Amino acid sequence: MNTESPEGRPQADEQGTEQGDAHGVWSEDMELAPVHPGDREPGDTSGDRQGERLQKVLARAGVGSRRVCEDMIAEGRISVNGRQILEQGLRVDPQTDQIAVDGQRLDVRNDRVTYAMNKPFGVVTTMKDDRGRPSVGEMVGDLAAGLVHVGRLDQDTEGLLLLTTDGELAHRLAHPSYEVPKTYLAQVSGSVPRDLGKRLRHGIELDDGPVAVDSFTLKDTHAGQSVVEIVLHEGRKHIVRRLLAEVGLPVSRLTRTAVGPIELARMRSGSLRRLNRTEVGALHELVGL
């Protein structure tokens, strides 16, 4: 039993434990009082939350069975909004909460899809072409309502093109301020000067302003033809062809092989594949979503 001294300070109980804090007497009943939302630390995901149980959301996203997901939570492999989660049954909102597995952002929203296409040579990047030319829109058909292409590839350029129903993701991936790196393989006529990589990284002046590459690699040379790899985050029209023509290497074939972390890999020309949740999460992280 607790007693107070005449000065109002708590006295030790029968076991010699002092009950109190800096603000006065501590009552055992206070342990049952809920935490006021304003007293929670920033980023604290505990407390009353609306939504679905975390393990259910993870299982639906294909991480594993609910039992496996519960084990992963117990092992500390899951985080929500940057906070490691160890307790079972936490409720999350798949539309707003950022969920990561082993530090890798996971997209768990159900209402948006993103695809990778290997655009063939001769296909125009538009959902509908008034001139009747083969178009990206014809290739995807009614695959998903609201599907848009992310940026453009020239008609005579082939390779990786992203399409998505996520308007904000499409905007950020295409906007130059986010500096999304894009990788190209170019077959060019002529031999590549030894110092060309340094010159391209330093910057080349074009009619509409300077352009500098992020990286430049000579991949192959044979019979007066060379294959080079260029990585840059520019999005100006015909930028790779104009850049290489300016340094005396006209392009005879151009293929985009990567956009950020998404690679063309072994996709056949004209094929489509839906990006998995980890890949979409990596795109979100790249552009700050």
**Residue 258 C-beta-side C-alpha neighbours within 13 Å:** 15
Tokens 């500390």 found at: 76
Residues annotated as catalytic (active site), given as ranges: 154
DSSP 16-39: S-B--BTTBPPPGGGGGSPPPGGG
Token digits for 173?
């991936």
In Å, how far are 15, 190, 193, 217, 242 from 226, measured between CA atoms?
Answer: 85, 7, 11, 11, 17
Closest CA to 190 of 243, 254, 252: 252
Residue type, 123: V
Closest CA to 69 of 51, 81, 57: 57
DSSP 111-148: S--EEEEEEPTT-BSSS--TT---BHHHHHTTSSTT-E
Q: How far apart are CA 48 and CA 40, in angstroms?
A: 12
Token digits for 157?
């350029």
For 103, residues 6+ apart whose C-beta sits below 8 A from its C-beta are 79
The two counts, helices (H) then strands (E), for the chain are 7, 17
